[in-house]
Amino acid sequence: MSLSKNDTDLDQEKYLREATRHFYGIEKPLKYGPAIETLNDLIQALYVEFSTNYVNIEMVNHLMLSYKSNPKEWQKFAKFDRYKYTRNLVDTGNGKFNLMILCWGEGHGSTIHDHSDSHCFMKMLKGELKEIRYAMPSTRTTESTTLANTDDSTENDLERHESLEEIGQRSMSLNDVAYINDNLGLHRVENPSHSDTAVSLHLYCPPFDSCSVFEKNSGQKINCTMTFWSKYGQKVTYEK
């Protein structure tokens, strides 16, 4: 079996990345969309949606909005760590999308990050999460300040350190769906509760396994590989 992607897959990937430039997410389920009763229904409907070369991203959003959280269906994927939020793989969607359940202990949060030019849907399955958004720092600024950085290094070093601009916050409750892509900015997510855990369902398309993480005060970024805590309900062990 060949592991290389065929032309159809690459076309779809390119098409999906292009669509991140103008898709902003939908607020309500579509009137004509299919009904989704269970997590299995959701996964099956996603496979149908991703079976064509040109995915209807609005329909993907509809499906995520239509599913109503039932803990009995997702409990087996929900594995927590004491110290940080966990990423638990539910389905790899034939390489077209990644569906995963994130488990947030009390006070757990992510660092400021992008989504590698993919669509990111995040649906609340339990508890509450707070999302804080930041403007994507412009590469032009970084380049021009670097170029200008020739004579007075102290002054220019300060110039280069541009803190990230916060552009919005929202609280998410049961069954809410948030949508983000790199065109809309960066974000950081946290469970603000000191007494309750939170669980969210994330869909990324195309799938990615690394992203950029940003430092708030300097705007500087580093690449970060993302790992799974569990896959299909089984804890993953990584070699040290």
Amino acid letter at 43? Answer: I
Contact assessment for residue 111 and residue 213, using Cβ atoms and an 8 Å cutoff:
yes
Residue 78 within binding range of ligand CSD, rule CB under 6 A: no
Please pick, from the candidates 186, 189, 201, 205, the single residue that binds ligand CSD as defined by CB under 6 A. 189
Residue 199 within binding range of ligand CSD, rule CB under 6 A: no
Please pick, from the candidates 122, 124, 199, 205, the single residue that binds ligand CSD as defined by CB under 6 A. 122
134 class by beta-carbon count within 10 Å (0-12 exposed, 13-18 middle, 19+ buried): buried
Pairwise CA distance, residues 232 & 118, whole Å: 22
Residue 212 within binding range of ligand CSD, rule CB under 6 A: no
57 class by beta-carbon count within 10 Å (0-12 exposed, 13-18 middle, 19+ buried): buried
Residue 201 within binding range of ligand CSD, rule CB under 6 A: no
Residue 87 within binding range of ligand CSD, rule CB under 6 A: yes
Q: Do the annotations mark residue 22 as ligand-binding? A: no
- Least Cβ distance, residue 30 to ligand CSD (angstroms): 24
- Pairing between β-strand 230-231 and β-strand 86-91 as defined by DSSP bridges: parallel
Please pick, from the candidates 45, 199, 202, 230, the single residue that binds ligand CSD as defined by CB under 6 A. 202
Which H or E run contains 38? none
Q: Do the annotations mark residue 187 as ligand-binding? A: yes
Binding-site residue positions: 113, 115, 187
Chain positions contacting ligand CSD, by CB under 6 A: 87, 102, 110, 122, 189, 202, 226
